[in-house]
Structure 1
Amino acid sequence: MKEFTERVIQIIQRIPSGYIMTYGQIAKEAGNPQAARQVARILHSMSQKHKLPWHRVVNAKGEIVIKSEEAAWTQATFLEKEGISVKEGKVIIEHYRLNQKK
């Protein structure tokens, strides 16, 4: 497994309940600020294997970007169970974003 992939997995595993991170935020912390799409691919392909809290990752606007209506509903439901308010597929990012590194 590549070092970037390992770092992404570790970062996602550390997102606590009640918080979210963005794809870009994770990419930057993992060492490649230009790799937000790669984070999305890692999340998609490795969430189940590594038991990642995939539902805690949103885009830079706080939007749930999963194309499947059922999966988007599942993500919103998981976030709401953790106390994160979701309105029309979006969270107020400033209220819930985890600031691990500045």
Structure 2
Amino acid sequence: MEQSFYDQVFELVRLVPKGRVTSYGAIAKSLGAGGSARMVGYAMSNAGLAHPRVPAHRVVNSSGLLTGKFHFNPPELMQELLKQEGIVVKDDKVQNFKKLFWDPLLEL
């Protein structure tokens, strides 16, 4: 049975190492759906329902901004989860984003 796009996204996000982040666009591109960053965002907004758990807090926009934080309850939870992994966030933006960025195309 073929996996749905959401399932493919969830599977990939589960591979993002602790203490690293990736972007919606990088996930879309690695799944062969380069222009579908927004679809990855939609998938992430449903990640709370997925089992096993999806570390959705590790997915940010291409600038390192926590654009998905409003899908967390409370919204501050996204930053808190990143902080617990040693990631510094200032003004809703991951610091040292380029250094912490995990590119599925290069890492897999």
Q: Same fold (TM over 0.5)?
A: yes
- Into which bin does the TM-score normalised by the smaller protein fall? 0.7 to 0.9
Alpha-carbon offset, residue 30 of structure 1: 1.0
The answer to which structure has the higher helix fraction is 1
1:76 match: secondary structure: helix
Q: Secondary structure at the match of 2:41?
A: helix
Report 1:17-96 matches (<5 A).
17-50=18-51, 51-66=53-68, 68=70, 71-91=74-94, 92-96=96-100
The 8 Å contact of residues 23 and 40 in structure 1, kept in 2 or not, is answered as yes
Structure 2 regions of 5+ residues with no counterpart? none
In structure 1, runs of 5+ residues without a counterpart are none
Identity %: 29
Q: CA deviation at 1:46?
A: 3.1
Q: Is the CA contact (8 Å cut-off) linking 1:4 and 1:31 kept in structure 2? A: no
Root-mean-square deviation (CA), in Å? 2.0
1:35-60 deviation digits (Å, cap 9, x = unpaired): 00100111111333231001000001
Normalising by the residue count of structure 2, what TM-score does the alignment of the two structures yield?
0.82
What is the total number of aligned residue pairs between the two structures?
A: 102
The 8 Å contact of residues 47 and 53 in structure 1, kept in 2 or not, is answered as no
